[in-house]
Structure 1
Amino acid sequence: MFMEERKEKILAYIKNQTRATVHDLTSYFQVSESTIRRDLKELEESNHIKRTHGGAVLAQSVSYEQTMLEKEKEFVEEKQAIARKAVTFIEPGDTILLDSGTTTYELSKELKSLPKLSIVTNSVAIMQELAKNPSHDVMLLGGSFRRETSALVGPFAEQSLKMIRIDKAFIGINGIDLKEGILTTPNLMEATIKRLMIERARQSILLSDHSKVNKVNFAKVADLNDINDYIFDELPLDVTERIESYGVNVHLI
């Protein structure tokens, strides 16, 4: 079977089943795991599917939004490694901001070993994790609670952000559109909050795994060149160079 024919059949299989594991596909098509993973990578790059840990699901519309519970099960090791790298950016006495997200949540777990910090967040889940360490000063932004992401958003959160300045903001994102050079997320209110976080920080640091690259969501957050640093797990050299062309410092874990 030729590669293009196999990819068409893989896509048809996933459309029929809505999701598939690498094991399912290797058994069904009688090819190696490396072949299936390569096919899935190419199907994801053409926006037909979205790769998950151990498999793939159909690509969703720009307004589709996963819940925290769904996202926290994906790319766990990658998010933990990104979080450990992010810790090295933090210096004693810093005032930092943690955006709501599963990678920033992993970062909050890594802060227990650090000396006293001032930490701002709009995430209820992150606030609960930070509450376990009494040595840090923690500020939770007010606002309307979004259950999908455990985030506080809206006018109260926006007004609070406009009153403060941050040394370093650690930002999570749903999509990185390299063609337009923009960051995107499914929800307009969250896009506004993320944009303000970037604006209020002296240094903005993007945290995301490779699945967010070339993914487009409904609402624009900011231009890629508004970000100072980007910590990621794995990307092809040409993609890394494309991101760096926007003036972003890229850090591989």
Structure 2
Amino acid sequence: MFPEERKANILRILERNYRIQVNDLTEELKVSESTIRRDLQDLEQEGLLKRTHGGAVKLENTSFEPTMDEKEQVNIAAKAEIGKRAAALIEDNDTVILDAGSTTLQIAKNIKSKNVTVLTNSILIALELSKNNDVEVVVTGGYIRKEIVSLVGPITDKIIKSFRVDKAFIGANSITIEDGYTTPNIDEAHTKSIMIKSSKEVYIVADNSKFGKVSFSKIADANEVDGIITDNGIEQHLIEKYMSKNIQIIYN
């Protein structure tokens, strides 16, 4: 295999997994560790990846976050699928947290159970649930993040801390086993982490494109939730990887 062909293969593997290890690459590409390390050094100098101890990670902007309008135009079918799957876990008389996001908005649109109470920091979710006579809505205070029309900050966090709910459904921009669940905004990450601590059961809701990525601010470790609800487009090797770590993937 020519060096340029090998480097192209490394980038393809990195695109699929976000993080790669030297020993895995030596096994897959059938070359020595010194050869892989030279390839990674060359690729880093070209600005195509960032080397880490024992491997490399994909080079991308961890602080970028699309607006709510942009989010609602991406993976529409997958998010609708997740919304129905998550809403089916909500039972009569449940108390529930829905954080702000395009996927959690789909959950709100699909709640069929009776006498449900929803605590949310999303103005859009509150408006959606105001149409449902079987749902009581509690909206947190706080300042508005105009990008995704969410309420965050010290007031928001203080209100959430005063509640204990049965189930929480939390969105995440990025998911890896190593880095857990992450999102670009610090305030959003902090609010999400408090929501997790206020709930008996916690589910991350994210379409399959969020796997293998890392954002700037950490929400929680991978094993701190009861499951990840995603769409059936998730690859089998990812399901097996997470299940091997006792992390439940709900996808059908």
Deviation at 1:241, TM superposition (A): 2.2
Q: Which residue of 2 aligns with 1:141?
A: 140
Which amino acid is the alignment partner of residue 96 of structure 2? I
Counterparts of residues 52-91 of structure 1 (less than 5 Å): 60-91=60-91
Structure 1 residues 192 and 246, CA gap change in structure 2 (3 angstroms) = farther
- Structure 2-normalised TM-score? 0.76
Q: Which residue of 1 aligns with 2:34?
A: none
Counterparts of residues 158-169 of structure 1 (less than 5 Å): 158-169=157-168
Structure 1 residues 164 and 186, CA gap change in structure 2 (3 angstroms) = same
Counterparts of residues 11-160 of structure 1 (less than 5 Å): 43=15, 45-46=17-18, 60-111=60-111, 113-160=112-159
Equivalent residues of 2:18, 2:213 under 8 A apart: no
- Is the counterpart of residue 225 in structure 1 residue 219 in structure 2? no
- Is the counterpart of residue 202 in structure 1 residue 200 in structure 2? yes
Runs of 5+ unmatched residues, structure 1:
12-38, 49-58
Question: Equivalents in 1 of 2:149, 2:129: separation in Å?
Answer: 14
Question: Equivalents in 1 of 2:227, 2:218: separation in Å?
Answer: 18
SS of the counterpart of 2:61?
A: coil
Equivalent residues of 1:181, 1:246 under 8 A apart: no
Equivalent residues of 1:121, 1:139 under 8 A apart: yes
Equivalent residues of 2:179, 2:214 under 8 A apart: no
Q: Which residue of 1 aligns with 2:234?
A: 235
Structure 1 stretches of 4+ with a deviation exceeding 3 A read 41-48
SS of the counterpart of 1:118?
A: strand
- Residue-by-residue CA offset, 1:88-140 (whole Å, 9 max, x unaligned): 211110001101110100111112x3312111100011111111123311100
Question: Equivalents in 2 of 1:145, 1:246: separation in Å?
Answer: 37
Match of residue 186, structure 2, among 167, 185, 188: 188
How many residues in Structure 1 have an aligned counterpart in Structure 2?
210
- Residue-by-residue CA offset, 1:31-66 (whole Å, 9 max, x unaligned): xxxxxxxx7x97454587xxxxxxxxxx85001111
Equivalent residues of 1:109, 1:129 under 8 A apart: yes
Question: Equivalents in 2 of 1:44, 1:70: separation in Å?
Answer: 23
Question: Equivalents in 2 of 1:237, 1:203: separation in Å?
Answer: 25
Which amino acid is the alignment partner of residue 206 of structure 2? S
Which amino acid is the alignment partner of residue 185 of structure 1? T
Question: Equivalents in 1 of 2:60, 2:129: separation in Å?
Answer: 33
Q: Percent identity?
A: 37
Deviation at 1:145, TM superposition (A): 0.6
Which amino acid is the alignment partner of residue 74 of structure 1? V
The CA RMSD over aligned residues, in Å, is: 2.4
More displaced 10-residue stretch of structure 1: 167-176 or 129-138: 129-138
Deviation at 1:242, TM superposition (A): 2.1
Q: Which residue of 2 aligns with 1:22?
A: none
Question: Equivalents in 2 of 1:145, 1:223: separation in Å?
Answer: 27
Question: Equivalents in 2 of 1:44, 1:244: separation in Å?
Answer: 18
- Residue-by-residue CA offset, 1:129-163 (whole Å, 9 max, x unaligned): 11112331110011111011111011001101111
Question: Equivalents in 2 of 1:46, 1:231: separation in Å?
Answer: 20
Runs of 5+ unmatched residues, structure 2:
20-47, 49-58
Question: Equivalents in 1 of 2:239, 2:162: separation in Å?
Answer: 35
Which amino acid is the alignment partner of residue 107 of structure 2? L
Question: Equivalents in 2 of 1:195, 1:109: separation in Å?
Answer: 24
